[in-house]
Amino acid sequence: MPEENEELLDQITSSEYKYGFVTDIESESAPKGLNENTIRFISAKKNEPDWMLEYRLKAYRHWLTMETPKWANVAFPPIDYQDIIYYSAPKQKITPNSLDEIDPELRLTFEKLGISLQEQKRLTGVAVDAVMDSVSVATTFKAELAELGIIFCSMSEAVHEHPELIRKHLGSVVPYTDNYFTALNSAVFSDGSFCYIPEGVRCPMELSTYFRINAANTGQFERTLIVAEAGSYVSYLEGCTAPMRDEHQLHAAVVEISAFEKSEVKYSTVQNWYPGNKEGIGGIYNFVTKRGICQGDHAKISWTQVETGSAITWKYPSVILKGDYSVGEFYSVAVTNNMQQADTGTKMIHIGKHTRSRIVSKGISAGKSNNSYRGLVQVGRNAVKARNFSQCDSLLLGDQCGAHTFPYIEVKNSSAIVEHEATTSKIGEDQIFYCNQRGIDTEAAVALIINGFAKEVMNQLPMEFAVEAQKLLAISLEGSVG
């Protein structure tokens, strides 16, 4: 590696994570540790009905019988689940009745993150649910959305206001028994967003949840549920950041999507949790289960993710294609730098006839990081003429990082067509020099090449976020050229 590039790499990797600040706000927490009392504490804090508490306890008891999954291509010391705080809520002096009454300190925190909780200052056409640690602090545009019959609120509120919907759908796509982290999440989840689009309604604005971890030693366990009734449409976006801390923090979320006949749900994630420092100290463990089900014919679920943060990412946004002619998509850019580890991909489960899925995964590794794509394409016996196309490309920066691809294909119907393409390439000195020779410096050249590599995925992001995501990619990798 030329000396200059090495210097650049040093500069950038030691540069500060932009969102690493801590908000000094008093918070109310559960004592450290996990037992049935912790769960009762959380449930009581939220004043939950009995059925909710029962659900949590069942999940907890099931969790006790399970073990941490070991199959992912990531390595980390055992997590001490008794050393985590499972509930932490920023204390607001009064319960805000309107957005104007939110604690200024909280408002400022989100402003610093570029999220305005004042509707008049909003990003055009985006409604936001802002979640800090374990609770939702504000949701914008609720009234406007309600006029169309759209429900967009925090999960805690939904449990009280729309119990029939929650009881019907919560856990219907991702049962608590699904895996270790879903059981844990189902037991202790504290907030998240609920979104319901009634039949035939096209949601007029982007819905967005912004997750922020603030308190130390705290885990964040949020729960998102999206229900799109027949013929409806919604585009949903989540973003996340956390302060720089020396301890690892656990983020174990569950997202469920139910899409009925002819509905379409587009779910985009820009994940920028604190990745830890250059030596791998600190950073978020991002162990997330995301799954959608196309319940009805011609339904469509599309996942787009830009993953740049977290010390470890373990997530596979999946689609169960149950309805005939339903469509599942997965577009992913996963960036790892320094000591980051990512094992991410998708599952496309074809059950209905003529179901189609498309997977485009772009992995970018730099530093000493490890980046794995893991994906399953499963075609069931009755999935006549199912089609899948998968493309997995890896780009390496430097010679100390790793890129891995683990595609699994199971086909039980002979009329199905499944295609898989994979490439691995390195940013070449030739490419950099070519750019340099045209007056483009190395930093800008890397950004250009990376964005070109990831373009197919970036194009899937809602316009408002594409530019931001492009910048994020460049920042995550600046200077890591070899």
Partner 1 sequence: MHMLSIKNLQAGLEDKPILKGINLEIKAGEVHAIMGPNGSGKSTLASVLAGRQNFEVTAGSVDFLGKDLLDMAPEERAREGIFLAFQYPVEIPGVSTTNFIKAAVNETRKHRGLEALDAVGFLKMMKEKMKLVQIDQSLLSRSLNEGFSGGEKKRNEIFQMAMLEPKLAILDETDSGLDIDALRIVANGVNQYRNKDNSFLLVTHYQRLLDYIVPDFVHVLYNGRIVKSGTKELALELEEKGYDFIKSEWALAGE
**What are the residues binding partner 1 (CB under 8 A)?**
2, 4, 428-431, 433-442, 444, 448-449, 451-456
Tell me the closest approach of the beta carbon of residue 435 to partner 1, in angstroms.
8
By beta-carbon proximity to partner 1, the closer residue of 339 and 449 is 449
For 355-387, b/e burial (b = at least 16 CB within 10 A) is bbbbbbbbbbbbbbbbbbbbbbbbbbeebbebb
Tell me the closest approach of the beta carbon of residue 178 to partner 1, in angstroms.
36
By beta-carbon proximity to partner 1, the closer residue of 392 and 449 is 449
Tell me the closest approach of the beta carbon of residue 474 to partner 1, in angstroms.
13
Residue 152 buriedness (CB in 10 A; 0-12 / 13-18 / 19+): buried
By beta-carbon proximity to partner 1, the closer residue of 106 and 454 is 454
Tell me the closest approach of the beta carbon of residue 446 to partner 1, in angstroms.
11
Q: Which two tokens stand for residue 114?
A: 């570029």
Report in angstroms the alpha-carbon separations of 357 from 301, 314, 348, 425: 10, 21, 7, 25
Tell me the closest approach of the beta carbon of residue 456 to partner 1, in angstroms.
7
By beta-carbon proximity to partner 1, the closer residue of 61 and 455 is 455
Q: Which amino acid is at 283?
A: G
| Dist. CA 396–CA 165, nearest whole Å | 46
Tell me the closest approach of the beta carbon of residue 445 to partner 1, in angstroms.
9
By beta-carbon proximity to partner 1, the closer residue of 77 and 439 is 439
| Dist. CA 226–CA 100, nearest whole Å | 27
Q: Which two tokens stand for residue 376?
A: 């399953």
Tell me the closest approach of the beta carbon of residue 404 to partner 1, in angstroms.
21
By beta-carbon proximity to partner 1, the closer residue of 118 and 436 is 436
Q: Which amino acid is at 113?
A: L
Tell me the closest approach of the beta carbon of residue 437 to partner 1, in angstroms.
5
Tell me the closest approach of the beta carbon of residue 340 to partner 1, in angstroms.
23
Q: Which amino acid is at 4?
A: E
By beta-carbon proximity to partner 1, the closer residue of 78 and 439 is 439
Report in angstroms the alpha-carbon separations of 248 from 79, 134, 183, 190, 297: 9, 17, 21, 20, 43
By beta-carbon proximity to partner 1, the closer residue of 2 and 69 is 2
By beta-carbon proximity to partner 1, the closer residue of 362 and 374 is 362
Tell me the closest approach of the beta carbon of residue 157 to partner 1, in angstroms.
43
Q: For helices 442-458 and 3-13, what crossing angle results, to 10°?
A: 60
Tell me the closest approach of the beta carbon of residue 368 to partner 1, in angstroms.
24
| Dist. CA 155–CA 225, nearest whole Å | 8
Q: Which two tokens stand for residue 217?
A: 């030693």
- Residues facing residue 267 across a β-bridge: 236, 303
By beta-carbon proximity to partner 1, the closer residue of 213 and 366 is 366
Tell me the closest approach of the beta carbon of residue 461 to partner 1, in angstroms.
15
Report in angstroms the alpha-carbon separations of 17 from 24, 248, 277: 18, 15, 9
By beta-carbon proximity to partner 1, the closer residue of 172 and 431 is 431
